[in-house]
A and B are shown apart, each in its own frame.
Chain A
């Protein structure tokens, strides 16, 4: 049996996942701090159709040492950490990171996760949380009589209240390989062996990005690019399906040889 029908099938499988990823990117075109994903492909391991130096038999075989591949497979999906556009919101608790870095979020079970979504809220205890109510590391509780919050580019936070003011610096975190972070939903990412461990630093120093108060980082998905990718993926899927169809028709014809 020919490999063609399987090669076409692996192509369809790979394109299906590619379509899923493009669909997810398009769905998150307005998600704050979302980073687009991309599918990465490689060819499947090659079969040695004929070993080097083997007898070619009736002469209808490929020459020595030729390998024919088995198709294509998805090797990884990676997130692309290019900067998203910063949008002015004028909300004093919206903080965007311009450049490298993540905010650290404490999950309800005590583990840490990381996000670039800086749309923060304050809970009834005066603590800074994300939209899900999880605490953000590095913030001090706001006094009940707080009047104004200032966040400078280098992470200096100044809270003015009737009883005085407090000043501290908000740390941010970075990873050697942010593409290796695992996405757990809710705009949150957790570290993995591939991402490396979180490294704490101050905004605006040693390669860390700066903070922008009153801004949010939008998704870095470019809708036009994704639509083009969608068309390409769909056409590739179609071509792979034609391969399966052609291989099937040819096999059926061969079967009809015997009267």
Chain B
């Protein structure tokens, strides 16, 4: 009937997706290692009206959501088991109790009851030489900026980061990112990763930009709705004009 109304509705749907993503970025701002999602709008072939087929190609906006893996700010916490990644690339590799592998940039770690370094979900941190296990009789752990793990003066392990060519294939799982089991992507060790002990990488979302996005979404919704209302009114007038008896 009137494709304009459909376009308006598509735009509203896409804008609502943008609003969802903005809300998520704002509420997740407190979550260390969180990577913001970004929305891009692109044109997509939309509804096809038979009468329009040869005249114009109907186009509706489509919201494309991707994850922005840019590094966040690394802020000191003073807690020795917090490890911030200061190199732009790479993820910590973690192993779940079920043996699955999860990748994350969240370095909020602890030593568990077996003196093994784990993240807050209890997943074991996988360094170059396997899990990082502390000997309780030999004092505290210290980590060099290049990832060498020392206990006292003894080198006990080397932290490693992994990166991927196709980060878009990563899916979000509890505690980090992973791949669908049927579509594994090979991991590559990052060359010369850098770390900062006693610091955490914060979310890379920018609260100011997110608040601006909230306003933009709201205003864009308003203008789309105004357009839809005036189309609706036009149709109403046309019906009245063509049907004076009604």
Q: Is the CB of B218 within 8 A of A3?
A: no
Contact status of A42 and B121, CB under 8 A, knowing A240-B26, A250-B221: yes
Q: Chain A interface: which of B90-98, B134-142, B188-196?
A: B134-142
Give a binary string over B118-146; 1 marks a CB under 8 Å from any A CB, 0 the rest: 00110000000000000011110000000
Q: Is the CB of B64 within 8 A of A40?
A: no
How many angstroms from the CA of A41 to the CA of B31 in the assembled complex? Answer: 5
Nearest to B6 among chain A residues (CB) is A58
Minimum CB–CB distance from B132 to chain A (whole Å) comes to: 13
Q: Does A159 touch B at the CB level, under 8 Å?
A: no
Q: Does B19 touch A at the CB level, under 8 Å?
A: yes
Q: Chain B interface: which of A90-98, A120-128, A133-141, A174-182?
A: A174-182
Q: Is the CB of A68 within 8 A of B24?
A: yes
Q: Is the CB of A4 within 8 A of B23?
A: yes
Q: Is the CB of B113 within 8 A of A177?
A: yes
How many angstroms from the CA of A38 to the CA of B60 in the assembled complex? Answer: 47
Q: Is the CB of A45 within 8 A of B174?
A: yes
* Cross-chain contact of A253 among B37, B62, B225 (Cβ < 8 A): B225
Q: Is the CB of B44 within 8 A of A59?
A: yes
Q: Is the CB of B120 within 8 A of A239?
A: no
Q: Does B185 touch A at the CB level, under 8 Å?
A: no
Which residues on A sit within 8 Å (CB–CB) of B21?
68
Which residues on A sit within 8 Å (CB–CB) of B112?
176-177, 180, 194, 196
Nearest to B113 among chain A residues (CB) is A196
Contact status of A43 and B28, CB under 8 A, knowing A58-B10, A176-B113: yes
* Cross-chain contact of B65 among A7, A62, A254, A256 (Cβ < 8 A): A62
How many A residues touch the partner, as a band?
35 or more
How many angstroms from the CA of A76 to the CA of B36 in the assembled complex? Answer: 22
Nearest to B44 among chain A residues (CB) is A59
Contact status of A195 and B26, CB under 8 A, knowing A61-B62, A249-B218: no
Which residues on B sit within 8 Å (CB–CB) of A68?
17, 20-21, 24, 37, 65
Q: Chain B interface: which of A9-17, A22-30, A106-114, A144-152?
A: A9-17
Which residues on A sit within 8 Å (CB–CB) of B137?
206-207
How many angstroms from the CA of A41 to the CA of B62 in the assembled complex? Answer: 32
How many angstroms from the CA of A179 to the CA of B79 in the assembled complex? Answer: 12
How many angstroms from the CA of A176 to the CA of B189 in the assembled complex? Answer: 30
How many angstroms from the CA of A253 to the CA of B13 in the assembled complex? Answer: 14
Which residues on A sit within 8 Å (CB–CB) of B232?
259
How many angstroms from the CA of A61 to the CA of B60 in the assembled complex? Answer: 10
Nearest to B39 among chain A residues (CB) is A62
How many angstroms from the CA of A68 to the CA of B23 in the assembled complex? Answer: 11
How many B residues touch the partner, as a band?
35 or more
How many angstroms from the CA of A65 to the CA of B106 in the assembled complex? Answer: 23
Q: Is the CB of B113 within 8 A of A42?
A: no
Which residues on B sit within 8 Å (CB–CB) of A78?
110, 120
Q: Is the CB of A15 within 8 A of B60?
A: no
Q: Does B101 touch A at the CB level, under 8 Å?
A: no
Which residues on B sit within 8 Å (CB–CB) of A256?
225
Nearest to A67 among chain B residues (CB) is B172
Which residues on A sit within 8 Å (CB–CB) of B20?
2-4, 7, 68
Q: Does A142 touch B at the CB level, under 8 Å?
A: no
Listed residue (A5, A11, A56) with the most chain B CB atoms within 10 angstroms of its CB: A11
How many angstroms from the CA of A246 to the CA of B221 in the assembled complex? Answer: 11
Minimum CB–CB distance from A47 to chain B (whole Å) comes to: 10
How many angstroms from the CA of A45 to the CA of B176 in the assembled complex? Answer: 10
Contact status of A195 and B22, CB under 8 A, knowing A46-B172, A69-B172, A239-B207: no
Minimum CB–CB distance from B136 to chain A (whole Å) comes to: 6
Minimum CB–CB distance from B91 to chain A (whole Å) comes to: 15
* Cross-chain contact of B111 among A18, A177, A193 (Cβ < 8 A): A177
Would you list 25 pairs from A and B whose C-beta atoms are within 8 A, ordered by A residue?
Answer: A3-B20, A4-B20, A11-B26, A40-B32, A40-B108, A45-B174, A58-B10, A61-B13, A61-B62, A62-B64, A66-B65, A69-B172, A71-B27, A176-B111, A177-B110, A180-B110, A236-B29, A236-B30, A239-B29, A242-B211, A243-B22, A246-B19, A246-B217, A247-B19, A250-B19
Closest A-B pairs by Cβ, 6 of them: A11-B27, A196-B113, A4-B23, A60-B10, A59-B44, A206-B137
Given A45-B174, A62-B65, 16 further pairs, Cβ under 8 A: A11-B28, A40-B32, A58-B10, A58-B46, A59-B10, A62-B17, A63-B64, A67-B172, A76-B120, A176-B111, A176-B114, A193-B113, A239-B26, A250-B218, A254-B12, A254-B221
